[in-house]
Amino acid sequence: MPKISQKGQAMPESPIRKLVPFAEDAKKRGNKIYQLNIGQPDIKTPQVALDAVKNNNIEVLAYARSEGSEAYRKKLAAYYHKNNIHVSANDIIVTTGGSEALSFTLGAITDAGDEVIIPEPFYANYNGFSTANNTKVIPIVSSIDDGFALPAIEDFEKLITSKTRAILICNPGNPTGYLYSKEEIEKLKALVLKYDLFLIADEVYREFVYDGNTHNSVMSLDGLEQNAIMIDSVSKRYSMCGARIGCVVSKNKDFIKTILKFAQARLSSPTYALMASEAALETPQSYFDEVIVEYVARRDILISELNKIPNLKVSTPKGAFYCIVELPVADADDFAQWMLEKFEDNNETIMVAPASGFYSTPGSGKNQIRIAYVLNKESLIRSVELLKLALEQYNS
């Protein structure tokens, strides 16, 4: 029988999607499921983006440019300027989602066995992108006790070897909701300059920053022009997850030239999705203002309700729309599956993402889950009520 590659066998399952078969079975049994497991916003996509696709008169759906059209990249650069990120169209390569941007980046800067240091817990697919590129993830643990703040720079330094190529952060963070301060970003800047590494920042949640805090982009730092790489996407900003349009941004010309070769090899991103993404840049600021108000209200009610559950620990997110919750259970994977298979209250249950898949260190996060607060406030209140009931039953 033909053999599957070691790399293929090593590819991790998605902790966000692996419970889908159990959810489908629960639905077949007539249960309603509150889906807290996936960052799919229920916020409406800007009408201007939908209309761009709906009202076009294309007669031949042709290839787009591999790097994205110049018009789109120029508009993107103008959007970044408003956010104190001063880049040109030539510093941007458009990708098929932020996922492809990250995968291309690892392909461009690492050879087999090279290392990337990532604070954990981190977006689960970083494990998958690294495995696909034969890159080794070197995790550095952050703690729920300080809200998942940046670990001590001395701890980063201990992990740097001749194989280290980059430090990767998500800011604001998925799955933690943590927002790195200017001081923390400056510390990382000094470290990558000292060891001549890349600093990769996944900034797809840039718009989702709360409590009067400011987002600090790696692209806004003077002196980091050759080391900074920014990953971005339209998925969360405009509630356009299905468009699969992202980009890589860097002022390092050799890096951008290399990313373009990866982009050429896959030809181009989808034309209709590019059209919608370009139109989405016309979205008024009022859209984001309303979305932020809504997410802050959701966050506050979720955290307030969770804090009523005995022996549960949760850190308050400063950005994005996720939080990590530490449960009074030994195995959150088993508990999450049990809620779909064995638990219901008035034919309702919840689906969460076990947090162990957001760690690279074996055994870490076993008693944690990630909750995405992408449902309306009433649904969140009911979801936490179900979680409380489920914990009482499970632990008895």
For 72-92, how does the pLDDT look when each residue is reduced to its tens digit (9 = 90+)?
A: 999 999 999 999 999 999 999
Q: In which band, very low, low, confident or very high, does the pLDDT at 201 lie, cut at 50, 70 and 90?
A: very high
Taking a C-beta distance cutoff of 8 angstroms, is the pair 230, 102 a contact? no
Residue 365 lies in a domain: yes
Asked which of 30-44, 213-227, 297-311, 377-391 is least confident by mean pLDDT, the reply is 30-44
Tell me what pLDDT residue 358 has.
95
What is the three-class DSSP state of 231? strand
Q: Which pLDDT belongs to residue 38?
A: 87
Note whether residue 63 is domain-resident: yes
pLDDT above 90: residue 259:
yes
pLDDT tens, residue by residue, 277-299: 999 999 999 999 999 999 999 99
Q: Are 327 and 245 in contact (CB under 8 A)?
A: no
- pLDDT value, residue 42: 85
Give me the pLDDT at residue 173, please.
97
pLDDT tens, 38-66?
Answer: 888 888 999 999 999 999 999 999 999 99
Span 14-34, average pLDDT = 91
Q: What is the pLDDT of residue 375?
A: 93
For residue 16, pLDDT over 90 is answered with no
Closest CA to 238 of 178, 296, 279: 279
- Comparing CA positions, the residue from 327, 328, 369 lying closest to residue 352 is 369
- pLDDT of 300 reads 97
Enclosing H/E stretch for 145? none
Of 253, 280, 307, which residue is a domain's last? 280
Give domain status of residue 345, yes or no.
Answer: yes
Share of the chain above pLDDT 70, in %: 100
Do residues 237 and 126 share a domain? yes
pLDDT for residue 205: 97
User: Which CATH number goes with the domain that contains 165?
Assistant: 3.40.640.10
Q: Are 393 and 352 in contact (CB under 8 A)?
A: no
Chosen domain end from 280, 309, 337? 280
The yes-or-no verdict on residue 130 having pLDDT over 90 is yes
| Residue 15: per-residue pLDDT | 73
Arithmetic mean of pLDDT over the chain: 96
> Which residue intervals of 43-173 are DSSP H helices?
47-54, 70-82, 97-109, 125-132, 153-159
- Asked whether residue 341 is assigned to any structural domain, the reply reads yes
The arithmetic mean of pLDDT across residues 90-110, rounded, is 98
* CATH code for the domain in which residue 27 is found: 3.90.1150.10
Mean pLDDT of 172-193: 98
Tell me the residue range of the domain where 360 lies. 6-44+286-395
Query: Which of 223, 248, 280 delimits the end of a domain?
Result: 280
Residues 163 and 258 in one domain: yes
